[in-house]
Amino acid sequence: MRIKWFSLVRITGLVLVLTYHFFQNQFPGGFIGVDIFFTFSGFLITALMVDEFGRSRDFKLLAFYRRRFYRIVPPLVLSVLLVVPLTFLVGRDFVTGLGRQIAAALGFVTNYFEIATGGSYENKFIPHLFVHTWSLAVEMHFYIIWGILAFVIAKAVQHWAPPTRHQTSTASLPMFRLALFILAIGLAVYSLMSMFLRAAGLSDFSPVYFSSVTHGFPFFVGSALGTVTGIRYVAPSFQRSWRAWTWQSAAGVMALSALTLIVLGDLLQFDQLITYRGGLLLATLLACVMIFSARVLHEKTPNVPEPKPITFLADVSYSVYLFHWPLYVIFSHLMTNWLAALVTTSLSIVLSALSYYSLEPLIAGKPAHFFKWPLQWRLVKWPFLILTAGLALLTIQVTRTAPQLSRLETNLWLSGITQDVDKLNATQAIATAKPAPAVKAATATGTKPAKGVSIIGDSVTLGTRDYLGAHVADSSIDAEGDRTMDLAYKVMMEQQKNHLLREYVVICIGTNALNDYQEQLMKVVNDLAPGHKLVLMTPYNAQATASWNSSKLGELERSLPKKYNFITIADWGKAAPKHPDAFKGTDGVHFGGIHAGDVAYAQVINDALKVAQTRPAKS
């Protein structure tokens, strides 16, 4: 029995996820689309469990797992086999650690693999191609646990409420419903409290977002709703409640809850504590309202068919979710973001339709068709097996030869080691040698800094540190991955306090710009001691639009020399696009190890230093 209008719930979740992945800065909270999927899955699975028990007074665990296997695994395997050949369109960095990613995806442990490796959708470097399968892992863990619990409850009900000659098969159904409801509420509260408590004090919320324990509550909230409404075997309380509704009120509530979810997707942030202490729960509850009103609307519109385009998009939504992320990662590095989003969506829908209507039914031994032509296994068996074997061999070869560290990661790792050694040597030299005259002056007067250049940067600077040190005269470099302006400020103030900050201070920060970028930047400007000259390196991100914080920071920096005569701009944001070879096969931000990027980056700094020589120091 298909419930009309449930398709709109699935589509809402899919649209939220797609917009989040495609336009993360403009729609930062779209990740709640996953919580809609979780809630709906919990509802639907539990409602079907209730139907099965009402029909047969039993719940067959192995049959349940078999149905889940055929629905989840074939599209997952297909997405892996079809995506891997497309990685030849981009650099080898995109297949770094691919074997472990695929093993985690097929083993349904991607969520814990990402926690262990520090993965995230908001990864600053090249993201994992199959990071999105973390949600499948959480879903599969729910199916395993909830299936076992439902099986135990069914057996307990059979034992404690055996049928009599005069009972119908549904006589013990209320007991089964109640037991599932109480258990679902208990597990939802436990999971929700785990997220609430474990989120405290975190700067990176990926561990609580990915964990099956902390992010399992939407499934159980949906399950509780599923015991109340059901599909065929509807609870009496639900029957009484929906009679008071009109189809207009059901449609209105459904539309309002969907609109509220969209607004929520625009407001929530992945890195805000409120998201994990109420935001995801609110999204889950709104999803329940959508599900409930859709269920009522189904009852109120018996003669209104669901539009076929809506049904189609709902059918392929799971496979679209599987295909879209790796395709987007690849295409977004080959074309503009809007075009990449369009190509990704179109190709994902085509491949998903092929999977849902043709391949999945064939694998499960069910009737299948390709457009309007019926497919028979005997006719497509050998072409299908040969193509699958070829793709499997190609996937194995790619994973066998895939690097374990990307070129960028290797470069940053080596640069970090070199920087640590330099710091140790500098500390030892300071501890054992007499201060240089310039340093003495700085210590005595507090106004005359040492000659030279102090460069404070993020991972972009770290990636080119060796070249920069050799080609920017008399420079010291302190760079670190994921460094934001507030962290750069702390480094600057520490060097200033210890009289190590040199005359020219170059701040190469901004790609990781936070919402309070203006306040952070002005602290650097205002608290820099007199006698220094400040050079601000504008950030560059090939994917950034004018609405991104990094772009806004760059514009703010360009406006400062008119107000502060000790500030000079090193405009990397405008110079970098003139050197496309430096970013070929990269994430569009880093160029570590690419000589053209090293040369261009150092040149921009040196040009700015020449201009700074003609400007006064801070007074």
- What would the pLDDT profile of 46-102 be if each residue is shown by its tens digit? 999 999 998 888 999 999 999 999 999 999 999 999 999 999 998 888 888 899 999
pLDDT at 276 over 60: yes
Q: Span 7-29, mean pLDDT?
A: 93
Gap between the Cα atoms of 583 and 510, Å rounded: 18
Q: Give counts: helices (H), strands (E), the chain.
A: 26, 7
How does residue 433 score in pLDDT terms, banded at 50, 70 and 90?
A: low
CB neighbour list of residue 241: distance below 8 Å, 6 or more residues apart: none
CB neighbour list of residue 554: distance below 8 Å, 6 or more residues apart: 510, 538, 539, 573
Gap between the Cα atoms of 413 and 591, Å rounded: 14
The residue type at 420: D
Q: Span 416-442, mean pLDDT?
A: 62
What are the pLDDT digits (tens) for 404-415? 877 766 776 677
What are the pLDDT digits (tens) for 151-177? 999 999 988 876 655 555 556 888 999
Encoded tokens for 164 = 């009599």
Note the pTM of the prediction, 2 decimals: 0.82
Q: Does domain 407-613 correspond to CATH entry 3.40.50.1110?
A: yes
End-to-end, the C-alpha distance of the chain in Å comes to 78
pLDDT at 513 over 90: no
pLDDT at 77: 95
Please state, in angstroms and as integers, the Cα–Cα distance from residue 455 to each residue in 253, 426, 499, following that order: 56, 15, 15
How does residue 8 score in pLDDT terms, banded at 50, 70 and 90?
A: very high
How does residue 444 score in pLDDT terms, banded at 50, 70 and 90?
A: very low
pLDDT at 120 over 80: no
pLDDT at 440: 44
pLDDT at 327 over 70: yes
Encoded tokens for 125 = 């470097």
How does residue 390 score in pLDDT terms, banded at 50, 70 and 90?
A: very high
Nearest to 322 by CA among 360, 361, 296, 349: 349
pLDDT at 171: 67
Gap between the Cα atoms of 101 and 197, Å rounded: 29
* 342 and 101 Cβ atoms separated by less than 8 Å: no
How does residue 441 score in pLDDT terms, banded at 50, 70 and 90?
A: very low
* 555 and 580 Cβ atoms separated by less than 8 Å: no
Strands 373-375 and 368-370: antiparallel
Q: Which residues pair with 479 in a beta bridge?
A: 457
The interaxial angle of helices 217-229 and 134-160, nearest 10 deg, is: 40
Nearest to 212 by CA among 298, 364, 108, 339: 108
Please state, in angstroms and as integers, the Cα–Cα distance from residue 86 to each residue in 121, 290, 397, 543, 558, following that order: 20, 37, 14, 21, 40
Helix (H) or strand (E) holding 507: strand 502-508
* 368 and 362 Cβ atoms separated by less than 8 Å: yes
Residue whose token pair is 């710009």 = 513
Out of 36-45, 210-219, 419-428, 590-599, which region has the weakest mean confidence (pLDDT)? 419-428
pLDDT at 224: 96
Gap between the Cα atoms of 417 and 428, Å rounded: 17
pLDDT at 164: 57
Task: Delimit the CATH 3.40.50.1110 region(s) of the chain.
Answer: 407-613
Residue whose token pair is 């050079």 = 535
Mean pLDDT computed over every residue of the chain? 89
pLDDT at 443: 39
pLDDT at 395: 94
CB neighbour list of residue 167: distance below 8 Å, 6 or more residues apart: none
